[in-house]
Amino acid sequence: MKPWILAARPKTLPAAAVPVLVGGALAAAADTFRWLPWLVCLLFGLLIQIGTNYANDYYDFIKGADDHRRIGPNRAVASGWVSPKAMRNGMFATFALAFAVGCALVPFGGWWLVGVGVVSIVCGIAYTGGPYPLGYNGWGDVFVFVFFGWVATGITYYVQAGTFAFPDLMGGYGTLLAGIVPGALSTNLLVVNNVRDEPLDREAGKRTLAVRFGRGFGVNQYIVLSLLALVVPVIFAVVGKDWPCLLVLLAFPFAIRTIVLLEKAVGREGYERVLVRTALQLLMVGGLFCLGLVLS
């Protein structure tokens, strides 16, 4: 099981969990929290993330983006731990399980949610597979921001509250605003990978934003997204009078230190340290934001 666990990339799983936590916190703040649909959303999100990671492991190997020169964490197929066929089958099995779990949300939100689940799975595969892989054409950042930010947060809130509108903040658009927090910090997990893998990605024809515009652009993108995730809770505090949301400012020194480490990162250990801290930052900022919403 160890290769499959490593291929699931546990360090990236906060990207699936935190938007569901934020959606639950929004529902709790609106007095509409419901355990069952929230738990289903959490399980669905984790399975979609794992399935997408399996797809990345398989398609990156097939396309030549992963080989022995890679300085990031070892990939299961490229390392010979799992055969390409087995990884492909594992990917489809994980997505099938995710679909089955997602269908449990229909009683809470309607049949249109099946379409959302199908689109999520298709995009998970299309991230590195298919005729126009999103990650290979510079759209990976947009995919992560939208699905692990607005979609995951919004759907989690909707199946509990029965609406996308969050009361008493920006004309009901507070849900959209809150989704920026997990969306921005989840995208930063991808940014670290793209900055680290820029030389090999360029050679493999994987046109990430770091390949298109250079390492400096990737670092600046990371800085903007980190600060954006800290600004949103401040807006909740100032505009919505949800003052406990200012707790996220406790994470500011940690965020600044991580930015400095990314700017100086060299080699496997340097980038691994930044990736771990980015995942911790996602959990830290997301957790403090959720706590602030619940206490408001």
Tens digit of each residue's pLDDT (9 = 90 or more) over 166-186 = 876 655 688 999 999 999 999
How far, in Å, CA of 213 to CA of 229, rounded? Answer: 23
| Assessment of whether the complete model's pTM goes beyond 0.75 | yes
The count of residues in the chain is 296
User: What is the pLDDT confidence band of residue 66, given thresholds at 50, 70 and 90?
Assistant: low
Predicted confidence at residue 73, as pLDDT, reads: 65
- Give per-residue pLDDT as tens, 25-59: 999 999 999 999 999 999 999 999 999 999 988 98
- Domain count along the chain: 1
CA-nearest of 222, 231, 235 to 251 is 231
- 43 and 32 Cβ atoms separated by less than 8 Å: no
DSSP 3-state assignment of 182?
Answer: helix
Secondary structure tally for the chain: helices H, strands E: 15, 0
> What pLDDT score does 173 carry?
81
Domain that holds residue 280: 2-295
Residue 215 has pLDDT above 80, yes or no: yes
Using the CB atoms, write b or e for 28-54: b if 16+ within 10 Å: bbbeebeeebbebbbbbbbbbbbbbbb
User: For residue 157, what are its two tokens?
Assistant: 């809130």
Top-confidence range, 91-95, 134-138, 139-143? 91-95
Confidence of residue 219 (pLDDT cuts 50, 70, 90): very high
Q: Can you give the pLDDT at residue 121?
A: 93
pLDDT at residue 78, rounded to an integer: 81
Residue type, 238: V
